[in-house]
């Protein structure tokens, strides 16, 4: 398995002959985006790779389509070139063009001649505090594994806080590589409420799932993040039992994570 961190939540996942792209964001930095309900954020860092630098992508795994830090204009323009887009049910209805919408624990199978089918299962995500769905909208994570393969899965958390339904992920899946969306998002209008996972939440998630490798993403590049790499690392330094599992990816460089 090989991972390339493009920036923010955008990750190239090369697995079993398949190339997947998560939450495509390729706009240049500088613009402020409205997230609704009085919230907004400025993009401060551009992608490590341009859209034209990407290899052919077999599928896009889109945790949600309604926030520009997970799908910006350039990322949206890329979607028609992807043979398959997997996202939330609401997102698929908005996107159209055959996008596959999944509720948590529903699956779809990617098939192509000469390749082992790849199973993609949506997992629960909560993009904020309890009862925040009306504000933050539907979000899913993804569990990915070759059909019939033994061993663990690649789990991509999507934008989520630590919440009770992550226990379902631990109970149902054997996670080999966990990709965690972090950043501890807060907005002035919502005060201390968090809308994505903190370093402490990452430690709790790693202890719950016990993956071989944890890859932190989506903790930099936008003004609404309140906890970057340094903040996450402080939480890891207090939890050496799980800190050794974390692997920080260099931007734009393919990294073999085994599996």
Domain boundaries along the sequence of the chain: 2-248
Coil, helix or strand at residue 118: strand
CA distance 173 to 39: 34
User: What was the pLDDT predicted at 259?
Assistant: 67
CA 128 – CA 105 distance, rounded (Å): 20
Q: What is the pTM of this model?
A: 0.96
Give pLDDT, residue 132: 81
Find the largest Cα–Cα distance for the chain.
52
Its CATH architecture, for the domain 2-248, is 4-Layer Sandwich (3.60)
| Both tokens assigned to 189 | 């209008």
User: Which CA distances in Å does 235 have to 167, 170, 182, 239, 246?
Assistant: 21, 21, 12, 7, 12
Torsion sign (Cα): 68, 217, 184, 177:
positive
Predicted confidence at residue 150, as pLDDT, reads 67
Tokens 């992920």 correspond to 169
CA separation for the pair 196, 194 (Å, rounded): 6
Q: How far is CA 161 from the centre of its chain?
A: 12
Distance CA 10, CA 38 (A): 25
pLDDT tens-place string over residues 45-89? 999 999 999 999 999 999 999 999 999 999 999 999 999 999 999
H or E segment to which residue 199 belongs: helix 199-209
Q: What number of H helices and E strands is found in the chain?
A: 7, 15
Q: Which residues of the chain have pLDDT under 70?
A: 150, 259
pLDDT at site 188: 86
């Amino acid at each position: 398995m090989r991972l390339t961190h493009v920036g923010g939540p955008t990750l190239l996942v090369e697995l079993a002959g398949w190339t997947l792209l998560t939450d495509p964001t390729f706009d240049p930095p500088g613009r402020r985006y409205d997230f609704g309900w009085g919230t907004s954020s400025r993009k401060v860092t551009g992608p490590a790779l341009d859209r034209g630098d990407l290899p052919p992508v077999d599928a896009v795994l889109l945790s949600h389509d309604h926030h520009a830090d997970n799908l910006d204009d350039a990322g949206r323009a890329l979607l028609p070139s992807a043979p398959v887009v997997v996202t939330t049910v609401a997102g698929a209805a908005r996107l159209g063009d055959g996008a596959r919408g999944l509720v948590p624990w529903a699956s779809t199978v990617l098939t192509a001649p000469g390749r082992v089918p790849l199973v993609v299962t949506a997992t629960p995500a909560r993009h904020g505090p309890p009862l925040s769905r009306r504000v933050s909208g539907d979000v899913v994570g993804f569990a990915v594994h070759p059909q019939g393969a033994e061993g663990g899965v690649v789990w991509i958390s999507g934008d989520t806080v630590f919440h009770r339904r992550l226990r379902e992920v631990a109970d149902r899946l054997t996670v080999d590589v966990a990709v965690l969306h972090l950043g501890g998002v807060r907005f002035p209008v919502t005060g201390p409420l968090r809308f994505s996972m903190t370093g402490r939440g990452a430690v709790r998630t790693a202890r719950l799932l016990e993956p071989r490798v944890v890859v932190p993403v989506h903790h930099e590049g936008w003004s609404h993040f309140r906890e970057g790499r340094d903040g996450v690392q402080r939480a890891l330094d207090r939890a050496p039992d799980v800190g050794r599992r974390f692997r920080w990816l260099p931007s734009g460089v393919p990294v073999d994570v085994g599996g």
